[in-house]
Chains A and B, each alone.
Chain A
Amino acid sequence: MSYVKLLRVAAKVGRVTRKYPAEGSLVTEYFRGTIEIDPAMCWGCGACALACPPNSLTTKVEGDRIVIEYFIGRCIFCGRCADVCPKEAITITKNFEHASKSLEDLKYRVIHRVSRCSRCGGPVGAEEEVRNVSERAYPVKASLDLCPSCRAELLAEALAKYHPRRSR
């Protein structure tokens, strides 16, 4: 009958569950939850979107704007975006309570103005990023206002000039 001793264990331990949400959750101080993007710090470079394994962070060009969208519904709380952010604009919070009736509540947007290519008018990147990069890296300034495909074209043309035979 020694298994009756369980009663003693139960009495000693008492109640271990908590009346959530009235009494607060049980997450520890080390918990990794959703992220917060500081729009004042963000350049709009999109490094976070490239690193994000489940594509929870995405970038897209909408007219004159570059939108970085954080959709919490896909987020796996890995925090890789915060690792790669060059401006440390992303902080990891302990927040995990996101129950909502509307999908829109789970989306968070950072909006940047798009910088246009001086040659073809296509999107180059966020204005903020282009300005900051040109301040830091002035030798490449000449091509900073060009979009990637124009840059590639101009480079190809320049190479063709130096190697006229190969271009045939």
Chain B
Amino acid sequence: MSVNVRHPVAAEGQALEATPFPAQIEFCGVTKTYGQVTAVEGLSLTVQRGEFLTILGPSGSGKTTTLMLLAGFEAPTAGDILIAGKSVASVPSYRRDQGIVFQSYALFPHLSVRRNLDFPLEMRGVKAADTTRRVDRILARVQLSDLGGRMPSQLSGGQQQRVALARALVADPPILLLDEPLSALDRNLREQMQREIKSLHKEFGITTVYVTHDQDEALTLSDRIVVMRAGRIEQTDTPEALYDRPTTRFVAKFLGEANILEDTAVEVESDATRPFGTVAMIRPERICVADPTAPQRSDAIRRQVVAGTVDDMIYAGPLRKYHVRVGTSVLVVREHVASGQQIFRPGDEVRLDWLRSDVRFVAA
């Protein structure tokens, strides 16, 4: 076997305590078409060993297709996919060493939690004694030791999710794939599970590809994010860089809120010259709102100032959001609620200002 993926079971037979060996994944110009429809087009991407990569995009952007290709459920129409340097484009799913968490969890409803967890080990021919030990260990890790005998239908949503994660990890695969795993959970549980996934990733050091349409999940979990749109990669970067320096208008609007200044009647003053074919963008939290009569800030020289009228004020706990009419268009302004802050009402005249260096130029 020329694959340099070393699997603990496959290689030595019993080297069970070894941590999984994360694998590097490469997409080389991958295209997938269904009849007339192109789901993914010319996708090239490298996922480093042990990296947590998130594929983010709206529905129909090709993110799920990408995962299906990586999982071996679909074969690419063109291009190649390499896992640990070996082409896997036409390797069926059941000959790949991977763990997958499905959106619906896909727990076998006719098997108990324990038998669900046995399944991947059984398919790999792991002996009964080792199976028991490994299942016990992973059940303890996800705090479900007492629930091994339950049927999936007797578990809560969060517990089902943890079983699904445990089942994907129990065979120590070098790759973990997750397909919108948290979309069925409520908000509080979702945050808790995000922490759980993150800590499992750290502990297992496994190469992880996570597909979601939820920008918060992507920002919180990932080492790197790939933003997809209409079957193509729009931008790939770390969460911080992606949010702070989006290269396209789509990324700017999909990840957080963005004021595209070209859409407004605002004449942009900027330190840099505007590159050809781009528009200026500023994040709502970078804009300060103040009473027109208030004294100028000390760094006023580096700021652009416009006047507007408050259209609407939305209070959202820690944040306050203003829609401010400037000329014929509306700018969104977000500020953290703090004590002693002046609150503006619809109809109030306000002064908006922002640092000229906070303006970003994104491809239109």
Q: Does A pair with B?
A: no
Question: Could you list which residues of chain B lie within 8 angstroms of chain A, going by C-beta atoms?
Answer: none
